[in-house]
Structure 1
Amino acid sequence: MSMTGLGLAGIAGTGSSGAALAAGSAQPDLIVYNAKVYTVDDAQPTAQAFAVKNGRFVAVGSNDEMKGYGGPATRRLDAGGATIVPGFHDAHIHADGQTLLYEVLVGNPFEVEFVTIDSIIEKLRKRAAQTPKGEWVRGYFYDDTKVKDGRLITRLDLDKVSTEHPVRVGHRGGHTSFYNSKAFELAGITKDSPDPAGGEFFHDASGLSGRVAERANAVIQKGGTYPSFTPAEDAERARKGAAHFSNELVRYGITSVQSSTRQFADLQALQQIRPEGLLKHRVSFEVAGDLLEAMIANGIRSGFGDDWVRLGATSENVVDGSFSERTARLGVAYPGISPPYYGIMTQPQDVLDAWAERVHRAGIRLNCHANGEAGVESTLMAYEKALKAYPVKGARPKITHCAIVNPDILKRMKAMDAVPATFTTYAFYNSDKFGYYGEEIMKRALPFRAFLDMGIPAAAGSDFAPGPFAPLMGVQGIVTRKGWDGKIWGLNQRVSVAEAIRIHTLNGAYCGDEDKVKGSITPGKYADFVMLEKDPHTVDPESIITIKTLKTFTDGNEVYSA
């Protein structure tokens, strides 16, 4: 087994041989040995051991090659034959720890678990009893296909929670919500109210069903009052939420994310918890609203920041609906729906085109949410116009989700080096929704095989809260294409275990334009890695999800231990 390394006296300098490493005046801070290391580095795919100095990998090789390294202060970690891979990278996540800490969770954020409509009502009743009349009572992580009742929650169900509070149950997919009668009343919405542009009020035999999609949510949420906090209370909630979410991420082996959350508040919180040692993962922060405008006005470009927190692409500019909530804008009609239903587009092409060119000219990486073929095609059209108007080498425009494609889409993406951050955990967690699309569409959905065969370095984007963020759930899902319910969809799009791990590591770094410093166990890159109980490459593929994370390291420091 050959060894690669960098001189310990100057990590940022030129590479040097193993002999120079051993003779260097500086000694490694950490040596990990007796491991089964999958580096995700084609120059040296596997190893037994590696050394870390100043938060970077400095040598990778065999146990024998590492024996002579280190000094009195070097920590030596015997991995006991455990499997080690680079730290997992989630290329699209909403890292909202405040919701996990402070809100009513009516479903399980992390695992497949079935609940009842009665249990949802009871949880919300308890919150309503503690909430002033007229103030919103809200529930989170509802999943319509994880309900034992086998039906959607309705306006009439939520009327049982309260007739004095507006009540909202948000689908974990993030694009539809369910409301009680009081919420519609306070917003002045009746069964005869027209749908707003880019949104929809759904109806049933009772009139308004309670289900509201896309931009119609903003209309109904104008009614009622919301809890208020002092600036100090808001800041403290943001700090605690950020620290809590960081702990959750490293528990699953995630060391890097591309995250879009509450903008200024969460960006400030990340910076505040970092010197306290409470930030345990790296963040490419995706920007929107006032923060995006501030970047444009002040000439701040994507990439500004440091090793831990940097400004990344834009937050996802939503072009169409949701894959999990069946509002994605397809190129063909949804099967079995009459009259024909194609999904929702949320903005006209000229508005999207203007946004893309303005942001691209400002040196900020483009990022749009697009699920169905029609949504992806609209996004590509805007990107093509922006890149033609202002050519930039290595722009790497991002498409968040990119859930359903066709051959023409793949060719256009490859031509501009567009990078998809596509659902992986959905393949396992949301298999009970794929019947709404049917096998013919699912052959082109979550299309990792098609991406890789086209040479497109697709990345894993859990989209949490819409999907769980457990990387090994994602690996199993896209390797087997079999869901929790035992059903297989789109088997033609499956990938190998090695490919799935690359999708969750190096490809994520590429998606964030950070592949030169993270994503593989390579000398010179950040020493972010995960120790796993078993080897995903050798276990039964249908048991990958059960593999435990033993330890997680960020910057060469242990940040989680089982």
Structure 2
Amino acid sequence: MKWLFSTFLGLGLFTLSVQANTTLITNVKGYTLNEKGRLQQFSAALIADGKIASLDPQHIPQDAVRIDGKQKIMLPGLIDAHGHLLMLGASLLQVDVRDASSAKDAAKLVTQYAKAHPEQQWITGSGWNQELWPDRRFPTAAILDKAMAEHPVVLSRVDGHAVWINSQALALTGITKDTPDPAGGQIIRDAKGDATGVLVDNAMDLVNAVMPKDGPQQFQQMLNAAGPHLLSLGVTAMQDAGIGHDVYDFYLAKEVAQQLPLRIYAMVAATDPDLSEMLANGEIYSVDDFLTIRSVKVFADGALGSRGAAMLAPYHDAPHQNGLMVTEPEKFKPLFDQIIGAGFQLNIHAIGDRANHLALQQFADTFSRIGGKDLRNRIEHAQVIAPEDLRKFAELGVLPSMQPTHATSDMNMAEDRLGKARMVGAYAWQTLLKSGVHMPLGSDFPVELANPFYGLHAAITRQDRNNQPVNGWYPEQKMTRLQAFKGFTQDAAYGAHMEDKIGSLTPGKWADFILVDQDIFEVPASDIWKTQVLSTWIAGKRVYQK
């Protein structure tokens, strides 16, 4: 096998030869999608030079390595179309408060973590969600102070759109009563105007500015944690939703050294001050398809749980709030023109109906002037959409990149936030699919757990893993098993311009596949989330074994 960067920052071609081999996997119950998106079954796969040679092998080379699949289920490697790789690694190395039953319970977990890691000067973590706590109120610095007053503590909300900090961290930010809310952000305050310890969206920059910066050593630790975790879950490729120049350089170095654990389709962060430089470098491809950089991640608004999602009308449960535009609307046109004009796919985070409306409006305007419709631009999350805007995705060729477990995580509060009338365009998977769009699916890990079988289950049942509600939440928007499977395979590959390389096990594509313990097309839908990955393979090489 040879690999190279077609354009690698002036370094020219770099090639590496690896001895070719052939592998025959037999005695499997295999499923893949054919080129027409129909389900195809097979019992054997011949792999040559890391790619699928045949699913109906007639002529087997004598030196082929033969592997008995023992009647296990063989599927294409699953693709997460929206995640945060190093953030996942960081979350695995930090205090996890996802399961905390209250703010005080989360603070206790901070105390336990701090005692176990006395070397940590800053205590960081993630996963809190006040909507799951009895009082459903934002937590305060005072609660954290009782657990840890000596060191600064910074805990990200589960959606990554707010942080909860203690007084030590708050003091380091320099925030006072006179500190204004930054554009696109909010400092939560008490009745006296004092900061309470929660910073929403762009206000998070105030604490980020004083925190120690991560570098290659920390990135490597994060990668070492995240890579094996994803492989154990059957994820062979992921789309990294927003990387800065430092991570861009780190990924390039790891690919040169052939040390990336899985395939990465990276989206450059539009907020990075070096955006113009990275666009000028052009699209980056490695011939082994472990690294692709040809897209940019833009933020339109915040998240629903923190009421940062930008809404056309006020929140149903907070009539004085309409959410936050993280990127000011007047900046959309020059930003879209810059990114799409450079030939890069533009993937914009939009959760509220106002953010989605403005994004679709700007795509239409930019396409009419400079083109770019064929770039398969995307709206990431596309959670709440005005009914009249639903058809515009198919009309504009804009892909709704969605995360099924967001719906089952949000169902306890979404209707409170939106009111029943707006739910018609919320998490509207089936409506969008019927319009003819491709829908890449992912998890948004570490916001949600990274297990793609949790995502398949949520997409198909609209239920949590306790099978609630009984018939599913707004069940008319459920996906079929085929649609959900396509979202985590073929459509996810399409969303990354990689459908000719990965996403199905058809001859000529990379032999990225998994063996699992149960048939997701035959078991009760309620049991899909229980699927266990037995082994994971990339380019015909086993990279995980249970």
Q: Same fold (TM over 0.5)?
A: yes
Distance 1:149 1:411, change over 3 A: closer
Given that 2:188 and 2:196 are in contact with CA atoms closer than 8 Å, whether structure 1 keeps it comes out as yes
Instruction: Determine the structure 2 residue equivalent to 1:10.
Output: none
> Quick one: which of 465, 490, 505 aligns to 2:446?
465
CA distance in 2, matches of 1:539, 1:465: 28
CA distance in 2, matches of 1:243, 1:128: 22
**CA deviation string 1:290-309 (max 9, x = no partner):** 553223334x1365765111
1:228 deviates by 6.5
> Quick one: which of 317, 335, 360 aligns to 2:316?
335
1:140 deviates by 1.9
> Quick one: which of 49, 65, 78 aligns to 1:54?
49
Given that 1:114 and 1:148 are in contact with CA atoms closer than 8 Å, whether structure 2 keeps it comes out as no
1:543 deviates by 1.1
Instruction: Determine the structure 1 residue equivalent to 2:15.
Output: none
Given that 1:419 and 1:459 are in contact with CA atoms closer than 8 Å, whether structure 2 keeps it comes out as yes
Q: Does 1:507 align with 2:491?
A: yes
What code does the residue aligned with 1:199 have?
Answer: G
Q: Does 1:226 align with 2:221?
A: no
Q: Does 1:210 align with 2:192?
A: no
1:351 deviates by 0.7
CA distance in 2, matches of 1:170, 1:329: 20
CA distance in 2, matches of 1:544, 1:458: 20
CA distance in 1, matches of 2:320, 2:157: 24
**CA deviation string 1:102-150 (max 9, x = no partner):** 433333xxxxx444433432343466677799x6433222233455776
CA distance in 2, matches of 1:538, 1:518: 24
> Quick one: which of 125, 148, 151 aligns to 1:139?
125
Query: Per the alignment, in what secondary structure is the counterpart of residue 495 of structure 1?
Result: coil
Q: Does 1:243 align with 2:224?
A: yes
> Quick one: which of 13, 23, 29 aligns to 1:30?
23
Paired residues for 1:156-555 under 5 Å: 156-191=142-177, 193-205=179-191, 207-222=194-209, 225-227=210-212, 234-260=215-241, 262-274=243-255, 278-288=259-269, 289-290=272-273, 292-298=275-281, 300-301=282-283, 306-314=288-296, 316-337=297-318, 339-392=319-372, 394-437=374-417, 438-484=419-465, 486-487=468-469, 488-555=472-539
Instruction: Determine the structure 2 residue equivalent to 1:21.
Output: none
1:168 deviates by 2.1
Given that 2:465 and 2:529 are in contact with CA atoms closer than 8 Å, whether structure 1 keeps it comes out as no
Given that 1:28 and 1:71 are in contact with CA atoms closer than 8 Å, whether structure 2 keeps it comes out as no
Distance 1:507 1:128, change over 3 A: same
Gaps of 5+ in 2: 1-18
Q: Does 1:88 align with 2:73?
A: no
CA distance in 2, matches of 1:440, 1:534: 40
Query: Per the alignment, in what secondary structure is the counterpart of residue 462 of structure 1?
Result: coil
Alignment TM-score, normalising by the size of structure 1: 0.84
Query: Per the alignment, in what secondary structure is the counterpart of residue 511 of structure 2?
Result: coil
CA distance in 2, matches of 1:34, 1:441: 50
> Quick one: which of 60, 65, 81 aligns to 1:70?
60
CA distance in 1, matches of 2:388, 2:329: 19
What code does the residue aligned with 2:368 have?
Answer: K
Q: Does 1:557 align with 2:513?
A: no
**CA deviation string 1:234-277 (max 9, x = no partner):** 32332232132111111111111111455344344445555776
CA distance in 2, matches of 1:499, 1:482: 17
Given that 1:460 and 1:503 are in contact with CA atoms closer than 8 Å, whether structure 2 keeps it comes out as yes
1:161 deviates by 3.3
Given that 1:282 and 1:307 are in contact with CA atoms closer than 8 Å, whether structure 2 keeps it comes out as yes
CA distance in 2, matches of 1:444, 1:321: 18
**CA deviation string 1:468-510 (max 9, x = no partner):** 2211101110111112461332211101111100011100011
1:208 deviates by 3.4
1:197 deviates by 1.5
CA distance in 1, matches of 2:453, 2:148: 40
**Deviates further, 387-396 or 536-545:** 387-396
CA distance in 1, matches of 2:140, 2:287: 45
1:445 deviates by 2.0
**Deviates further, 302-311 or 80-89:** 302-311
Given that 2:357 and 2:386 are in contact with CA atoms closer than 8 Å, whether structure 1 keeps it comes out as no
Instruction: Determine the structure 1 residue equivalent to 2:16.
Output: none
Residues matched between the structures, number: 517
CA distance in 2, matches of 1:271, 1:304: 9
Instruction: Determine the structure 2 residue equivalent to 1:12.
Output: none
Distance 1:495 1:102, change over 3 A: closer
What code does the residue aligned with 1:219 have?
Answer: L
Distance 1:150 1:199, change over 3 A: closer
> Quick one: which of 70, 75, 95 aligns to 1:104?
95
What code does the residue aligned with 1:33 have?
Answer: T
CA distance in 2, matches of 1:143, 1:116: 9
Distance 1:356 1:333, change over 3 A: same
Gaps of 5+ in 1: 1-25, 108-112
State the identity %: 25
Distance 1:132 1:436, change over 3 A: same
CA distance in 2, matches of 1:395, 1:272: 27
Given that 2:264 and 2:291 are in contact with CA atoms closer than 8 Å, whether structure 1 keeps it comes out as yes
1:462 deviates by 1.4
CA distance in 2, matches of 1:51, 1:28: 11
Given that 1:425 and 1:471 are in contact with CA atoms closer than 8 Å, whether structure 2 keeps it comes out as no
1:196 deviates by 2.1
1:93 deviates by 0.8
